[in-house]
Structure 1
Amino acid sequence: MADDPYKVLGVKKDAAADEIRSAYRKLAKKYHPDLNPGDKAAEEKFKAVSLANDILSDPEKRGRYDRGEIDAAGAERAPQGNWRNYAGAGAGAGPGGFGGFEDIFSNIFEQRAHGPARGQDDRYSVKAGFLEAVNGGTKRITLPDGQSLDVKIPPGTTEGDVLRLRGRGQPGRGGGPAGDALIEIHVTPHKLFRREGRNIHLELPISLKEAVLGGKVTVPTPAGDVVMTVKPHTESGTELRLRGRGVPAHGHHHAGDLHVKLRIVVGPADAALEEFLKGWDQPSFDPRAGLGAY
């Protein structure tokens, strides 16, 4: 039997949605199977945390759980009989306004009968590359019955996002609807790009010649390479912004930007450069000038 989802996530019953999301992501990262290979206890913890989040992150399910309509596993609860349900006046009522015993037991059994119930949700974990998550893509997962399922990853997907595939979970009971398949996405880091919200950051090495004289440089972006102009006398650490070259627009989200930080790399020095620097009388300067007291 599943534990109380509030206790599993360690939040109060009046916790806000962002508190629940934060608690879930912290625990999911701690117990994720990829970080605890072969640890069955951690795997069970991860399943319990995912199940608790599935209920509490869905306002409808959370409300039904709080009202006692579904249990901690998300399954339908049978209605509970109560003697007050049978109080009332009318023909055939017994002493005190109660109906006959036959009517009472008939109603009790009718309420407690197992009607149609929704099937349980199945949970999966999928790794997506950085660019797959940014641009969108398709991943194939294998279901327990051996069937394959193509999962469409929408553009702008972030670490820990959960995709819901309606009706691809466990079959319902007594004619009830099937549960859903919940796919949690884990994004692998990229060697060049770093994401902050809808924007992407990149550190781009440029040569000393490009920094001093300026010129055209090729810049990698999530959607492919573009050419950018570097102005003459550019300092190392200069940051340029390419509008709309970050996370692409999707749904009601606007496109993000690509922030490019330039880093001057001298590279291997040849004899000509060495000879030039020997005769170069560079003006002296204090790199700390203008910074004030520290």
Structure 2
Amino acid sequence: MEYKDYYAALGVPKTANADEIKAAYRKLVRKYHPDVSKEANADARTKELNEAYGVLGDPEKRAAYDELGSAQYRQHGEGGGGFRPPPDWGSGFESFDGGADSDFFQDLFAHVGGARRRGFQMRGDDSHAVIEIALLDAYQGASRTINLRVPEADEHGRVITRQRTLDVTIPKGVTEGQQLRLAGQGQPGSGGAAAGDLYLEIRFAEERRYRVEGRDVFQTVPVAPWEAALGAGIEVATPSGRMSVTVPAGSQGGRKLRLKGRGIPGTAAAPAGDLYLLLEIALPPADTPQAKALYERMAREFGFDPRRGL
């Protein structure tokens, strides 16, 4: 049996309230009424609209449609297949005349009535969200409190949203795109069945100094011209703490210094990444007469042309 999307028929989202559904229905019925419409499919479209509103305009029928019809479609029929009912479809039917003539409507709601008497249960859907953390949280682990707005049906079957607050533990060693599973924190189940799970996708907040690839971290480190030319021991604040690093003599801007195992910490399944320090030559400003004179002297004595050979 092919699934019928009553929300699409009326052109409203699944979160639409009763007034929005009624307004959409009235607008479309006026447009496709056979007495005034010039559309070739006006009769069929009007029948479709009446059927959709007959369900979505009734709180109890809408709740049943959302509970069983949409859920079964998402689990079995989405992506090209038809509506596939559960194995006991067809047993224990009872009449449920809601004023619509389609086989889909009658069979769906007949099953809802019989399933409710037999204690029908269905696990809740999984939910997905994104949580943004600092790179330092991946090095040390952290605890965060998040607020989520989730849809649910009220006692009248209307879809409403409410805010949920959850305390989340960010484990040490998480990577960008990794999903944290919070069991039982997804959508509630039907008929006393278990709730779904909540999956939080990790996203790193943008930080100018860092770039992350998997577990490897790239950090820009400014150095003075004489440190790059002559070599120097410098101290650098890295995500894993302050470290003493040697800048080799004759270093150019963009040179990478690899610190093995100093990237995002490893887990049982994956080793720690590396930290790459990208040297960036920082020039002192020529903002005093003495500084300008020194730059002029360097220009004369070095005779250096950085574009030679280009």
TM-score, normalised relative to structure 2:
0.52
CA distance in 1, matches of 2:304, 2:89: 90
1:7-156 maps to which residues of 2 (within 5 A)?
Answer: 65-66=75-76, 78-81=86-89, 113-133=118-138, 135-142=140-147, 148-154=165-171, 155-156=173-174
Task: Tell me by how many angstroms 1:77 deviates.
Answer: 5.3
CA distance in 2, matches of 1:172, 1:202: 46
C-alpha distance 275-78 of structure 1, shift in aligned 2 (>3 A): closer
Which structure has the larger Rg? 2
- What does residue 237 of structure 2 align with? 220
Task: Tell me by how many angstroms 1:246 deviates.
Answer: 1.3
Task: Tell me by how many angstroms 1:205 deviates.
Answer: 1.2
Residues 151-194 of structure 1 show CA distances to partners (whole Å, capped at 9, x for unaligned) of 122323314x4322111233333332122223233332112101
C-alpha distance 171-71 of structure 1, shift in aligned 2 (>3 A): farther
Could you list the runs of 5+ residues in structure 1 that have no partner in the other structure? 4-63, 84-108
Task: Tell me by how many angstroms 1:248 deviates.
Answer: 1.2
Q: Which amino acid aligns with 2:179?
A: V
Q: Are the aligned partners of 1:71 and 1:77 in contact in 2 as well (CA < 8 Å)?
A: no
Are 1:262 and 2:270 counterparts? no
C-alpha distance 277-233 of structure 1, shift in aligned 2 (>3 A): farther
Q: Which amino acid aligns with 1:78?
A: P
CA distance in 2, matches of 1:149, 1:2: 34
Could you list the runs of 5+ residues in structure 2 that have no partner in the other structure? 8-73, 92-113, 150-161
Residues 70-116 of structure 1 show CA distances to partners (whole Å, capped at 9, x for unaligned) of 999xxx95325479xxxxxxxxxxxxxxxxxxxxxxxxx78x94532
Task: Tell me by how many angstroms 1:230 deviates.
Answer: 1.2
1:124-273 maps to which residues of 2 (within 5 A)?
Answer: 124-133=129-138, 135-142=140-147, 148-154=165-171, 155-159=173-177, 161-269=178-286, 271=290
Q: Which amino acid aligns with 2:120?
A: G
Q: Are the aligned partners of 1:65 and 1:71 in contact in 2 as well (CA < 8 Å)?
A: no
CA distance in 1, matches of 2:121, 2:294: 87
CA distance in 2, matches of 1:125, 1:187: 10
> How many percent of aligned residue pairs carry the same amino acid?
34
1:282-293 maps to which residues of 2 (within 5 A)?
Answer: 282=302, 287=307, 289=309
**Aligned-partner SS, 1:281:** helix
Residues 99-141 of structure 1 show CA distances to partners (whole Å, capped at 9, x for unaligned) of xxxxxxxxxx78x945322123344443322332455322212
Are 1:274 and 2:279 counterparts? no
C-alpha distance 132-228 of structure 1, shift in aligned 2 (>3 A): same
Q: Which amino acid aligns with 2:133?
A: A
What is the total number of aligned residue pairs between the two structures?
201
- Higher relative contact order, structure no. (Cα contacts within 8 Å, ≥ 6 residues apart): 2
